[in-house]
Amino acid sequence: RLPSLDYLPVVLHEYAHTLFEVNLEHYLLKEKEESKDYQSRFDDGQKSFNYNVPIGIIDLAAPYNEYFADVYAVLTLDDPQAMSNYFSACNGIDHQRDFTWMYEVDPAKPIQDLTSVFTDVHLTLDPARTFIWQKYLQLQSNPKAKELILTAVFMAAKEAIGDFYHSKTLYKDWAHTDVVLMNSDFILRINQHLPKTP
């Protein structure tokens, strides 16, 4: 329904998933191998989720994978609204994955139940969007700004995923993850991988 070039942010986003997953496998291959059979162990015999099963590395990575893919698209196109413009044109949804929008998370109304891992993980890390675009603007005079940002986002994501995995996070825990804390922790991790700005 849209001109071909309007799909470019989505193409870049999907390509970035491959970059993220290949690199995550490099860093967390052991964890990924260990978690391979989690999907087959969800059925507790009554066709319902077994919440005592640890979350597989793919599921833990989902919100971070989506975030990284969006960051890649907006940095490549140098447009903080590259993703949100697509959703606005395609579905009439405003501020969806917009890196200039000030997202707020009400702890009493979490973005989603993270147990439904593949429903809306695109939005879990929304509050970190504005932060990362502001950081990019601060670093923009550096010719390696985009590389620095992408590396910091990936390394922060890899560390967060690894920590969740090694803490033996269960599905029942993931369902009650504090999304506000998850975002502030992620922002702190990203910041630690970026050069200090005045």
Please write the tens of the pLDDT for every residue from 56-87.
Answer: 898 899 999 999 999 999 999 999 888 777 66
Q: Contact at 8 Å (CB) between 65 and 47?
A: no
pTM: 0.85
28-57 pLDDT tens trace? 999 988 888 776 665 555 555 667 778 889
Q: Could you give the percent of the chain with pLDDT greater than 90?
A: 45
Question: How far apart are the C-alpha atoms of 175 and 71, rounded to whole Å?
Answer: 25
Model pLDDT, residue 89: 61
Q: What angle do CA 31, 189, 154 make, to 5 degrees?
A: 55
Compute φ and ψ for 109, nearest 5 degrees: -130, 75
